[in-house]
Structure formats: structure tokens, C-alpha cells
Structure 1
Amino acid sequence: MTPYTQDVAPRSHWAAPSGKPPLSSRMMRATWRGLPATQHDIGWEPGLEVPAADGSLLRTDHYFPRTKGDFPTLLVRSPYGRGLPWSPLFGVLFAEQGFHVVLQSCRGTAGSGGRFDLWRNEAADAQAAVSWLRQQPWFTGNLGTIGPSYLGYVQWALALDPPPELKAMVIQVGLHDPHALFHTGGGFLLENALAVGVGMTYQHQGMLPLARRALRLQRRLREITGARPLRRAYESALGEVPWLDGAMTHPDADDPYWDGASVAEAAQRLSVPTCLIAGWHDALAGQNFEQFARLRRAGCESSLLVGPWTHTSAMQQGWPVVFAESLAWLRAHLCDDPAGLRPTPIRVHVGGEDAWRDLDDWPPHAATTAWFAGENGVLSGQSPEAEGPLASFRYDPADPTPSVGGPLLSRASGARDNGTLEARDDVLTFTGPPLTEPVDVLGPVSARLRIATDTGHAEVFARLCDVDARGRSTNVCDGLMRVRTSGVTPSEVTVAMGATAHRFAAGHRIRLQISGGAHPRYARSPGTGESSVEATHLQPVHLTVYSGSALTLPQETP
């Protein structure tokens, strides 16, 4: 830990500037409902220049209560600019509640000096921001951090060597491992990569440049995602993005390219009270659960809130709940006001039941139940007696199985009707009988599959679905894993399908869905063993599911 030196500027009278927050931020603030009443009139100091680790100047805005007295400080560092939505979400709302809010643009973005390079400078630049804070006459030495997505990553980067002033963190749908944002189970998360590319490259330039590039990407999405090779095809919509090309072409987490990218070790030894907020349909939920597990093992005071949200809806429709949770945590640890804290460290929204549940631990200690795939598309709690193949399908990368909903960074995420998808010839389903009583699934889900292929190279996508009494199939959670087989001999592969909290109601049925991919959420497997990013040749693959394949659920009967 960096030693605390007495370099804090002497506390003196501070003359608050007369500027008001931007009109656009005040107008957006006026449209929100369900938020607590304003406590303070606020002011705004825009365009401050804060020296980064190498002397580059980082553009910074300061929001503050226009009330005499001492207030804690929140540091928010963003590569997406300092305007909408960050100015109203953090600058305006939290200053109204009695916080100094320092909103800073990461290097190379929104007027800050230097060159942006995904993840490589955040730890040093965050420390430099804290050093600058120590010199401000309004800074009391009482510091918190807050923010979503990459704004969560920069918090973990600071927590690698937490300054003594850091008393609380609120990480909202945030990440700690950039590699896992692009690669999982041997598959490349294509749609997320494109979303990150357009957001990181253009959002800090303003809403109009971002909208133009996002529209261009949408118009060219089929062309880009179907290109051979896939590498650099995005340039027709996004232009050159060197860090994106690097992320695409280095699939191995142990590659030196990723050295220093993951800041997971911060949570392993952290003592700063940390609040984690996640969404069941967010692409970063898995990382949030990893963070929470590390914090708990380290004995760090921590809380976890998981809502029925996607990456974007957590900060939109879910914002009143997210804001209340965040404010309560910061007041408890920066203002010595624990009145708003929950009685338990964990609160999760249970899908299917549409209710919140308070828990003492995550995952809860539910019994693990196996549901076995059987002949004729049956899913049963009984292990089948017969050995051998159950069903086969042909995956053609020239006509890849499409993706429907699921945990994404885009608006296409979430729970969707899977009926059209499941009608395809390249999708298998195994479905249980109507339930006689509700079944709650709380915790990590997986599928243990016995698979054979005719080429030896494939990917397998497994999904848990809830089939209602009318036969409508809705996705709950899923995952993908690369498969390597030797001829017609089946190989066993375990597909991690994420975690969930979901109630299957009486009369509903549990379904296991299996296919050879989910495009363009994942880049299509070429069927040849080549990299999905570099491949130019496509080979159809026949996949066969064998007896002994099973869905594993952490299951409770209420």
C-alpha cells in the first residue's frame, strides 16, 4: 500500500464558483421519478486540469453542494466523456445528496491529454487523481468511488493499491478482467466486442458522433459479422481501433498481451467496504459474482444486489433501485449513517416469481439436481438406462445458428421468446414434464454433455429455458464451450451456463436447449479448428448428443 504522507493541503476557506451544472444535465434530472428529494443546491467547476501519472492533463469536472460544511468526495473516472448520462447520474444527483463529485475523463478521451490504451494506465492515473485531491481545500480525506462498466474497472485499478483516504466503493455492472469481456469458453464474444469498440471510440466525442457510428455499425452488422476473415472487418464502420484488433487476435488469457489487464487480485486482499450491483442479463454478471466471492474470502465488508436488468437497463429502468442502493452504501461508510443499509448482505431478484429475496450467502446452499437428456427430446430426473446417441444436428457456419437475447452489452439482451430459434433444424431441445409444484433455481447452472463430431472441431451452446403452460420458451441462462473430439467417439464437456435466481412455476417445464453456436453474439465456429477471427474457410459439422448428457441445477422446492 502506498504510504500516507502528510501532503494534504491545509484546510482553508474555499470560495465556491458560481457556475451551474449543464442545462442538459438539469433537464435530464428533472425527468427522473422515484429518487430521493434534493438536499442541497449545487454548483459546477468544469474543465479542471489534473496532471496524470506522466504529466498529461486530464480534464475534470467538479460538482459540489452549495452549503457550508464538510462533505465527502466521490471520484468517478470515465472513458466515455463527462456529459450525458454521467453528469446527471453522478455529478448532479450525488452532489444534491451532499457529496463533492469529481468526474474525470480518462487519458486520450474527451479533451484529456495522452493516448487511450485499454486498461494500461488506469491504476497510475487514478493514484494521480487522488494526489491532486489531497491538494484541494474542500477535500476532507474522506473518499469513495462509484461507476458502472469500465467506470467499475478503474475503481478496481485504484484498489490494487488503495490509498488510505478510500473508504467505500460502489461498482455497478462493472468488470475486472478485459480478456473475459472478449473471450469465454474458447469462443469470441463478437457482439460485445463491437459494442465496446463503438462505445470506447466514439461516446466520449458526444452523443451525435456516437449515434452516427452506432447506426453505421447496425447497417453493416451482417456484412461485418459474416466477413472472412473476421479480423478488422469492423473498420468499415468503426475505423481503425488498434486495441480492439489486439483483443480479437489474442484469445489466450496467458498471452503476454494481457499482462496487467486483470485487476482481480485487488479483491483478494481488499479491506475497503465494497458494494457490487449486477444484472441477471448483463454480460458482466459472471465477473461480478467472481468479485463478490473474492471479497468474501478476503473478509472484506461487501454487499451484492442482482436485479432483473441488462447492462444498459440497470442504469435506466433500474436506476431508482440502483441509486438507492449506492447512496445507502456511501452514506453508511462516508457519512456514518447506516440507516439505509439492508439487513442481509445479498439481495437478488427471482425471475418467474418477480420478487426480491434477501440472502446471507451467494450462492445459497441449494441441493444440486441432475436433469438427464433422453430419447425423443425428453428431460428427466432419472438417468437413462440405454447407452448410445440421442439426437444429431448439422451446424453450418455459412448459415450459423442465430443468437436470441441472453447476457449482452447491447439492447438485444435479456429474456426473449425462443420459439422461432427452437424451430430450426440445428437446435435440439430436451424438455421436462409439467411441474407439479414450483422449483427454485438459485446459483450456478451447467450442462455436462457427451458430444461427438464428424470433423473433431466445434462449439456447443447450451441454454436453460422456462417453458410456460402455453408452450412459450424463454431463456434463463446459457453458455458456450469449444469442443475437441476424436471422430465418432463422444467426449465429455462441461458447459458453464452462468448463474441465475429463477422460479419455474407449477405447470411450467424445464428445457435444455443445445446448438452449435449463437451468432453474432459469438463469432461463428468455422468447423476447421482455425481461429474464428482469422478463418477464411468454413466446414459444416455434424454434432451428436449421447446418453449421459445432463443439465445440472442448484434446485430448491419452496
Structure 2
Amino acid sequence: MRRSMRGLPPKLHDIAYDPGLVVPAADGSPLLTDHYFPLDGGDFPTLLVRSPYGRGFPWAPMYGVLLAEQGFHVVLQSCRGTGGSGGDFHLWRNEAADGRATVAWLRQQPWFSGVLGTIGPSYLGYVQWALAMDPPPELRAMVVQIGMHDPHGFFHAGGTFSLENALVVAMGLTTQHQGVPSFLRATLRLQRHLRRAAADLPLVEAYRPALGGPVPFLDGAMAHPDAGDIHWDGADVGSAADGLIVPTALIGGWHDVNLDQTLQQYERLRRAGCDTALLVGPWSHQSALQQGWPEVFTESLAWLRAHLYDDLSALRPTRVRVQVGGRGAWQDLPDWPPVLRGRRWYIDTDGALTHRAPEDTSEPLSFRYDPADPTPSLGGALAGGKAAQADNRPLEARKDVLTFTTAPLPDPVTILGPVRAILRISTDTGHADVFARLCDVDPRNRSTNVCDGIRRLQPDEEDPATVTVAMSSTAYRFPAGHRIRLQISGGAHPRFARNAGTGEPTATATRLAPVRISLHHPSVIVLPIADEAAAD
């Protein structure tokens, strides 16, 4: 790992490890645990890394080895029902109790100094928030990397089902802990079957060949779209941030599937007065731990040293650091978001995007969305290895995609913060989704996606309804001569499950019906301009 990664700090200690330790879970099930530690004498802080993805590659080299070399005891543990640990895996129900049981075991170890930190990405971030619901007194620091706290919010973004990401996550959770060969076979199987899994009906049965059979937690997530359903009781552990006093560093990517949850965590920690820091880079869920690993590891290590060793030498002076897309430069900020107000660009009937609102009498613009030929997804925040940013011209050439574009910009425009579209929408059936995307169009007419969002319309909404489509957040600089573009369509398939158009539940729908979607005036996109004097 060290030879393949430039930018990592030099090794400080020779290390050893003790594999296959048995730690009792809250119900007594054996949790298999590996212990990495420096060979030098003295007290070292302990880092707890709990994972459902196994304890081999890449977790052992990236967390066990590298962090032990920096002077930490690293306890790398397989969650209940994974990686040889006993019991049955549940997507959220056991993590808080098993985390506390592991800390109780740590207290009995002669090498445990009583100083504890946690670290990890994705679901390894979720288990940290679960432990923080009732944090043990030894917990002195957390590092949540591209992590989630709300499973429902992951599966049902904007009221739609996040189909492709759900399949990728389910594949990883069910196979990665079995070893690299099993994981690679499962990845190839999903790639072969994804198109058919997304096209056949009903969805709850169609996905099974892609994953080698039914996955109970995926069936449950698909069948319960309502966040208030009893199915999700106890799943959202985001309230841990509301009163947390444990210093917590958050790391995200502008194209990460968990970006919105990362920024929600930051906002809640700031309101609670908790010591926190935020780093957001140009990464997707995968690339944060690949191309972004030197920055991610360096940031994480600095936070752990500051709060477990009282070593502030590598800690950056500002609370927030973001990479500004379109420019590629890092920018330090005192807080996030730095821009609290936005500038509006209105859609016009001729495909323009302007600061002037069109006349109320202007005719609406409409398109036909056909779930039998759904608008495809191209780029965006995906958990798999597909490119997050892509040339959107093939997508924009379709008849079911509307685009609105500014004139070439006379000066650069930088946006920092949340992007949203406020749209007046009507449909002829009441059953539709609205997908909105911000793009950067260069002088050669290449259209590159910046951020996006989706919203499911409700049949009982007024017609036309004014709806807000949250398009996530970004830090991006549009150069002079480029144009800003807003895309509007009826979906992004298979990233999001298509709206069947019949009102049937997504999981069990067996019929498809097209819908005509009309966009009325005034409809706008609101961009957080970095120059506050220019905001309205």
C-alpha cells in the first residue's frame, strides 16, 4: 500500500498483529477481531474500526497497517454475521450495542490506555454514529469518511428508490466480507445482469439474478418508502450529532452518494457546538479511497493526532477545506456553507437561462416521459466505479430532456453551497419524477454535470405545483466564456428506479404508463454565488 501511494506520511513504528481474536457481541455472538499494534514500548491510543466488509484487503493495509505504523493500536473487527463473526447481520439494529460491547472488552485489555478513537468510511461511518448515540467516556475523537447516518435517506433519495446504488451496496455487503475472489465474481455478475434487473418487472423479483438471490434488507428497504414506517425505527442515528461533544472530522466528496448526509452531520455538529472539521474533495464514493487516499489519510491522521496525542502541529487552521471544481484548487473556509443567499436564473421559452423572469402568459414547455424507454443516467453520484462526471451531450439530445442555458459568461462565476431548482410542474397523470441537473458547457459545447437531484411528485399536489428539487451542494468555478446549463427530465435510470406512471409501489409495479410533464413559468435555478454582493 505504501509503495503504491505517494503523499503518505513516513512510517514511525514497526508493527505486529494478533489475528482472529474473539470479542463477545452484545448477545454473546463471537465477533472476530484483528489487533494491529506498534512494537515499541509505551502507551498508544486505540482506534476501533468495525466493518461488515471483512478484515482483509483493502481494510487491513489501509487502516490496520498504516495507522499502527503511525502509533496506534488498531482494532479491526467484523460486524455481526460478516467476516466469520457469529450471529446474523442486520443493516442497523446491532451496531450500537455491539460497539459498546467491544469497548467493554477493550477495557479489559492490558494494552488499552483508556484513550479511544474511531475511524472508517461508508458503513464504517454508520457504526461510528451508532456508537456515538451513547458515547463511551473513553471516546476522544471520530473520523467519519464518506459516511452515512440514515439508511432510509440513502435508499430513498428525493422520494425515489436509488436503484443502482442500492444494488451495488447490497452486493458489497453480502459478498465483500467473503474475500476478494467472491467479491470480484459478484461484481461481474451485477454488471452482466444490471440492465435486465432494472428493466424487468416487478423490480422486487427482477433484481435477484443480479445479486445471486434475494437480499432481505434490500427487499425491506424497497418495500418501505415512507421514512415514518415502523420498518425504519432505530435506523437513523443522525441525532447522535445533536448533542455530541466528541471532536469529529468529516470527509466527503462532491460526487459521493453520502455527500448530503455528510453535510447534514456537519450542520448538526456545528449547532451543537462540537469541535468539527470538514474536508470535501473532487471524489466519488470509490475514488475517495483510491485517488483521494493521500489527502483523506493525511487529514484523518492529523485529526487523530490532535485529539488523541494533543499534537496540533499538522491540524489545518480553518474548519473547512473544499476543492473547487472547474479550477482544481483547494480553498480554506471558516465554515460551510459560506454563501447563505442565492442568485436566480429563470428558464425561458427559447431554452435560455436568464436573470429576467418571462411573462406569466408564456406557454409552458413539456415533454413525454416513457418508463418503457426511461431517460438514462449518465454520470452523477454512484457507489460503483463509473465516472462521476461525463459529457452530457448524448443525454441532452433526447426529446425527453429539456435544457436551459445562459449566454457565455463575461466573467468567471464561482458557486459555494447548496444548489436548488424551484419549478412549477404539472402532469397529465399525477405520477412523475423530476430530475434536475446543473452542467458546465465549455466553448466546444461539451456539457459536464456538476450536481443534480431528483424529486417524486405527489398525486395530490396542486396543478401546477411549485416544487423544490434539492440538487445537493457544490464548490465550482465556471470560467469566463463557459455557459451554465440546467437540465430537466423525468428520471435518471437505472441510478434511480423509474416511476412506473401508474401509482403502483416501485417494488411490485407490473404496468408502465407514460406521462406528459409540463414546466411552467416562473421556474428557476438558484445558485449560491461566492460574491455575496452579487446575490439577491
Using structure 2 for the length normalisation, give the TM-score.
Answer: 0.97
1:307 to 255, 271, 281: 281
Amino acid at match of 1:201: T
Moved more, 446-455 or 281-290: 446-455
1:157 to 130, 134, 151: 130
Map residues 188-227 of structure 1 onto 2, 5 A cutoff: 188-227=161-200
Amino acid at match of 1:64: F
Contact conserved, 2:2 with 2:8, CA < 8 A, in 1?
A: no
CA deviation vs aligned residue, 1:237-257 (integer Å, no higher than 9, x gap): 321211111011100000000
Could you tell me which residue of structure 2 aligns to residue 148 of structure 1?
Answer: 121
The answer to whether residue 332 in structure 2 is matched with residue 358 in structure 1 is: yes
Q: SS state of the match for residue 146, structure 2? A: strand
The answer to whether residue 101 in structure 2 is matched with residue 128 in structure 1 is: yes
Between the aligned partners of 1:290 and 1:479, the Cα distance in structure 2 is 16
Between the aligned partners of 1:159 and 1:513, the Cα distance in structure 2 is 40
Map residues 205-284 of structure 1 onto 2, 5 A cutoff: 205-238=178-211, 239-284=213-258
Q: CA deviation at 1:366?
A: 4.7
Between the aligned partners of 1:358 and 1:511, the Cα distance in structure 2 is 27
The answer to whether residue 485 in structure 2 is matched with residue 498 in structure 1 is: no
Q: Which runs of 5+ in 2 are unaligned?
A: none
Contact conserved, 1:374 with 1:390, CA < 8 A, in 2?
A: no
Amino acid at match of 1:315: L
Contact conserved, 2:349 with 2:362, CA < 8 A, in 1?
A: no
The answer to whether residue 158 in structure 2 is matched with residue 185 in structure 1 is: yes
Moved more, 434-443 or 235-244: 235-244
Could you tell me which residue of structure 2 aligns to residue 102 of structure 1?
Answer: 75
Q: CA deviation at 1:488?
A: 10
Map residues 81-92 of structure 1 onto 2, 5 A cutoff: 81-92=54-65
Could you tell me which residue of structure 2 aligns to residue 409 of structure 1?
Answer: 383
Moved more, 360-369 or 297-306: 360-369
Q: CA deviation at 1:335?
A: 0.5
Could you tell me which residue of structure 1 aligns to residue 34 of structure 2?
Answer: 61
Contact conserved, 1:485 with 1:491, CA < 8 A, in 2?
A: no
The answer to whether residue 45 in structure 2 is matched with residue 72 in structure 1 is: yes
Between the aligned partners of 2:124 and 2:283, the Cα distance in structure 1 is 18
Contact conserved, 2:375 with 2:490, CA < 8 A, in 1?
A: yes
Amino acid at match of 1:261: A
Contact conserved, 1:440 with 1:504, CA < 8 A, in 2?
A: yes
Could you tell me which residue of structure 2 aligns to residue 3 of structure 1?
Answer: none
Q: CA deviation at 1:557?
A: 4.0
Could you tell me which residue of structure 2 aligns to residue 377 of structure 1?
Answer: 351
The answer to whether residue 308 in structure 2 is matched with residue 317 in structure 1 is: no
Contact conserved, 1:452 with 1:487, CA < 8 A, in 2?
A: no
Q: SS state of the match for residue 518, structure 2? A: strand
Contact conserved, 1:350 with 1:357, CA < 8 A, in 2?
A: yes
Amino acid at match of 1:213: A
The answer to whether residue 307 in structure 2 is matched with residue 333 in structure 1 is: yes
Between the aligned partners of 2:339 and 2:220, the Cα distance in structure 1 is 41
Amino acid at match of 1:232: E
Amino acid at match of 1:274: T
The answer to whether residue 149 in structure 2 is matched with residue 176 in structure 1 is: yes
1:345 to 319, 340, 357: 319
Q: CA deviation at 1:133?
A: 0.4
The answer to whether residue 499 in structure 2 is matched with residue 525 in structure 1 is: yes
Q: CA deviation at 1:489?
A: 3.9
Contact conserved, 2:23 with 2:31, CA < 8 A, in 1?
A: yes
Contact conserved, 1:479 with 1:497, CA < 8 A, in 2?
A: yes
Contact conserved, 1:306 with 1:349, CA < 8 A, in 2?
A: yes
Seen in structure 2, the aligned counterparts of structure 1 residues 237 and 426 have a Cα distance that, compared at 3 Å, is same
Between the aligned partners of 1:57 and 1:284, the Cα distance in structure 2 is 30
The answer to whether residue 14 in structure 2 is matched with residue 32 in structure 1 is: no
Could you tell me which residue of structure 1 aligns to residue 396 of structure 2?
Answer: 422
Q: CA deviation at 1:532?
A: 2.0
Q: CA deviation at 1:184?
A: 1.7
CA deviation vs aligned residue, 1:266-312 (integer Å, no higher than 9, x gap): 00000000000000000100000000000000000000000000001
Contact conserved, 2:326 with 2:478, CA < 8 A, in 1?
A: yes
Seen in structure 2, the aligned counterparts of structure 1 residues 413 and 255 have a Cα distance that, compared at 3 Å, is farther
The answer to whether residue 27 in structure 2 is matched with residue 50 in structure 1 is: no
Could you tell me which residue of structure 2 aligns to residue 21 of structure 1?
Answer: none
CA deviation vs aligned residue, 1:364-416 (integer Å, no higher than 9, x gap): 13531110000110100111124243321111100000001111111124111
Contact conserved, 1:454 with 1:487, CA < 8 A, in 2?
A: no
Seen in structure 2, the aligned counterparts of structure 1 residues 489 and 177 have a Cα distance that, compared at 3 Å, is closer
Between the aligned partners of 2:458 and 2:24, the Cα distance in structure 1 is 51
Q: SS state of the match for residue 421, structure 1? A: helix
Could you tell me which residue of structure 1 aligns to residue 361 of structure 2?
Answer: 387
Give the paired residue count: 531
Contact conserved, 2:339 with 2:530, CA < 8 A, in 1?
A: no
Seen in structure 2, the aligned counterparts of structure 1 residues 460 and 297 have a Cα distance that, compared at 3 Å, is same
Seen in structure 2, the aligned counterparts of structure 1 residues 168 and 486 have a Cα distance that, compared at 3 Å, is closer
Q: Which runs of 5+ in 1 are unaligned?
A: 1-27
Could you tell me which residue of structure 2 aligns to residue 16 of structure 1?
Answer: none
Between the aligned partners of 2:8 and 2:147, the Cα distance in structure 1 is 22
Q: SS state of the match for residue 183, structure 2? A: helix
Amino acid at match of 2:369: Y
CA deviation vs aligned residue, 1:104-161 (integer Å, no higher than 9, x gap): 0000001100000111000000000000000111100000000000000000000000
Q: CA deviation at 1:227?
A: 1.3
Q: CA deviation at 1:200?
A: 0.3
Q: SS state of the match for residue 97, structure 2? A: helix
Could you tell me which residue of structure 2 aligns to residue 4 of structure 1?
Answer: none
Amino acid at match of 1:88: P
Contact conserved, 1:367 with 1:556, CA < 8 A, in 2?
A: no
